[in-house]
Structure 1
Amino acid sequence: MNAPHDPVLRVVDVKLHFPVQARLFRGKDAAMVRAVDGISFEVPRGSCFAVVGESGSGKSSLARLLVGLAAPTSGEVWLDGAPLSKCTRGELRRMRRRVQMVLQDPHASLDPRMTVEQILKEALVVHALGDGASDRSARIARVLNRVGLGASFAGRFPHELSGGQRQRVAIARAIICEPEVLILDEPVSALDVSVQAQVVNLLMSLQRELGLTYLIITHDLSLVGHMADAVGVMYLGRFVEQGEAAQVCRAPQHPYTRSLFASVYGSVGGQPCDGPLEGAVPSPLALPGGCTFHTRCPAARRLAQRGGDVVTADGDGPAVPAICAHHTPEPRRVATEHTVVTCHFAGAETIEHV
């Protein structure tokens, strides 16, 4: 049994690549989508780890790996010290009870033909929980009270509920299985602003009461600052910045992280910064060489204006330092020993205001 400070979830150099076209000609390799491209992190028991990034960065693909819905191309996911790749089918089934997932859209994740009671009972039956019908009914009543609905909601169908109520049912379905880890994929983004805070407060209360470990997939930076203990900022399948959430939110070091905060708050650390990022996220079928962020990086553009060895990004884009275009940066610790950044110039005064 792990000590309380040991990681309940450990991810080691995990990659998830998808071939997207057949080999039409002999000797020609199939194109690959690098949805997740070398991710490592640990989540201590009872803590909350947030994964942040734009759409298309690979966040949801990472979530699928963590709950066993996809097998990694390489690397390993460890749950409570056990590698998932070595689990038998029966062991994976038992693992899925311990790691539950709450999806973004509660309307799509709940079967419209089933009542709330049937939805929750199905979870108990699938995982062989509960000693007979009366015990299962009691468990359902307790979990509905715990998520703030009450037993009177048991006979309702999803279409009879509001968005916030449906998400509470989705949370109830997850915790009724008595999990250790909850994967929360954009848990409040589909809700009205008026109920988002209520659901966040519910999740934080459940974490304290049940000792849950959370991994949140989100693009909501305010949610990260409110709930997370640690954060990984993801861009094109990789973490570009990783560290304690308070430190990253207070003083982000990577130009991408700083741009994300600037697009929401208009400043970083009280200092004005450049506007939102220009251009779209590059295709995962044709990742830029060197630092994958160099085609959109405002810091690289500003550094190129100072002269030195520069090249044109993607052949016809803005000028950037040659090291950014041709050399992949290695993760290194900057600012504090708890922040790891993948950038050639991270921590340098020259990129402070992006």
Structure 2
Amino acid sequence: MSQAIRYDRHGGPEVLTLDDVPLPEPGPGQVRVAVRAAGVNGIDWKLRYGFMDRGRLSAGPAGVGVEFAGTIDAIGAGAGAGTPAGSAAGQGGRSVGRAVFGKVLSGAAATHVVVGTEHLLDMPAWLSFEQAAALPVAVETAWRTLRELDVKEGHTLLVHAVAGGVGLVAAQLARTRGVRVVGTASPARHDFLRELGVRPVEYGDGGDGLAERVRAAAPEGVDAVLDASGRDVLAVSVELAGGPDRVVTIADGRAAEYGVRFSTGGAGGVPLAEVFAEVLPLLERGALRVPIDTTFPLRRTADAHRLSEKGHVLGKIVITVP
């Protein structure tokens, strides 16, 4: 038997239940992972509320969570083939007992998850399960959006919600590439952000002097904007960047109204092996940090969602699985 956090109707965190479910069996090209930790992301509670349902509940209760870390405990037909990759970002995690991390469409907040081996990476020994589970979504999203914005050495990047998981990774990746970074965040996070080389600016929307604060922090001007907040900042972002083609949002569903690109993983996501080939060495030597704000046990996933919905989290929220 396995356990999974699920919901059978849309609503607040109270709709989440910890259910006993049949132990999932891996199919061809898949492995089953005994989950040790799962990351929490905004997409989790947005799906739960029904903002992006797309018929998810038509076939019964839906799981939550899209990123995880754990150990392989069963292998489907063909999934054990091939030579384990030797690199730190190798996709060779195909033997029972191997520590791995990766992504699924849903259901990571559970004791077990079934996943295709192409969505797995070997977990380096210097990472904990909690740290590894916090990485896939934030790192892939940050890496992808920086590529879409085409920021280069000498550019200035504005990141809204820079203290969150995606914002922190994007800011630090950009800094390693010689990009100046300005970021909006609550004042309590400003000292930490300065340590990372980010110029912090207090949160706000377009009508409360945000543009003036950003211009004061970046007198050289802004070349590109990543909106990870969804706090009604697209109009001011377009103004600051000089056009909608220099703005990407991952959080504001009204992007089309402003001519701004809404970036999502889905079919357009970048393979994790490609992303982590650059990122894992940065993490190992401490050039990139993804702090864990709070951890919750699996049975308290609803509390993890409540905290995520409030915002102002430094880094990531992680669910631990006994």
TM-score by length of 1: 0.28
